[in-house]
Amino acid sequence: MKLISIIVLVLVIVVGWFVVAPMVAPGVTEETVVRDAQVFLGDTCATANQSELALSMYEGALTMNATDPVILKKKGSMLIKCGRAQEAETVYQQILSLDPNDVTALVKTGDSLASKGSLTEAIRYYDAALAINPEDASTLVKKGDAYLMMSMAETQKLSTAAKGLNDQTGSAPVAQMQNQDSYQEAMSSYQKAMQIDPKLSVVVSARVMTATQSQVSSYQDILNNMNS
C-alpha cells in the first residue's frame, strides 16, 4: 500500500513538473522528466524489494538513453536480484564497451562469472578492477573468495581421484596437495583486505574457518583412500 502511494505521488509530481518545467528550467525536456521519474520509481521499487517492477522502470528509462551508465548499472543490479545473471553480465559488458575502466562494471562482471562457477575469469575481472583501485578491500575479499572456492574444488577433485588410485600412483595426489597455489592466493588477498579494513577480520575468519574444516575433511578422505 505504501509503495502504491509513493508511485501515485511521483506521478502527481511528474504531471506538475510538465507544467512548470518550461518556466523554471527551459532546457529540461519532457523526455528528461519522464526518464528521471522512471528512475526514481525504479529506485523506490528496488528499496521495497520489488525487483521485477524496478527492472521494468529502468528498462523504460533506458529507451530514452540506452547508454546511460548509471541506469545500466541499476538495471544490472536488478537482473542479478531477479536471478538473471547472464543478462546482467551482458549489461555490464555493455558498460565496459563504453568505459573499459568502469570499476563497478568490472567487479559486477566478476561477481556474475563467479556465481556461474567461472572462477578463473572472475578473478581476471577482479584483478582488472584492483589494477585501477588497489585499495578496494571488498574486491580483494571477492578475489579471495574466488581463489578459496578454486582451492576447495581442487581438493575435492583430489579426493575423488584418490578413490581410484592403486599403490603405483599413490604418491600423485600427495604431490598435488603440496601445491595449493589457489589457497595461498586466497590467503594473500584476504590479508591485504584486512590490512586496508580491519573490520573485515571477522568475515574473513569465518570464511577461512569453514573452508579449512572442509579441506581437512577432504584430506582425511584422501589419506583413508590411499591407505585402504
Residue 161 CB partners (closer than 8 Å, separation 6+): 172, 173
- Which domain covers residue 62, as residue numbers? 1-99
**Residue 3 within any structural domain of the chain:** yes
Per-residue pLDDT tens over the stretch 22-69: 544 555 567 787 888 899 999 999 999 999 999 999 999 999 999 999
d(CA 210, CA 118): 21
For the domain that residue 21 is a member of, what is the CATH number? 1.25.40.10
Report which of 15, 41, 45 is spatially closest to residue 30, judged by C-alpha positions.
15
Q: What angle do CA 79, 80, 81 make, to 5 degrees?
A: 90
For residue 156, tell me if it sits in a domain: no
Grid cell 583430489 in the structure block, residue? 158
Q: Is residue 29 part of a domain?
A: yes
Q: Measure CA of the first residue to CA of the last residue in the chain; give whole Å.
A: 65
pLDDT the model gives residue 179: 42
What does the alpha-carbon distance between residue 87 and residue 227 come to, in Å, rounded to a whole number?
Answer: 48
145, 126 Cβ separation under 8 angstroms: no
User: Which tens digits make up the pLDDT trace of 101-145?
Assistant: 999 999 999 998 998 889 999 999 999 999 999 999 999 999 999
Number of domains in the chain: 1
Element (H, E) at 189: helix 181-196
112 found inside a domain: no
Residue 154 has pLDDT above 80, yes or no: no
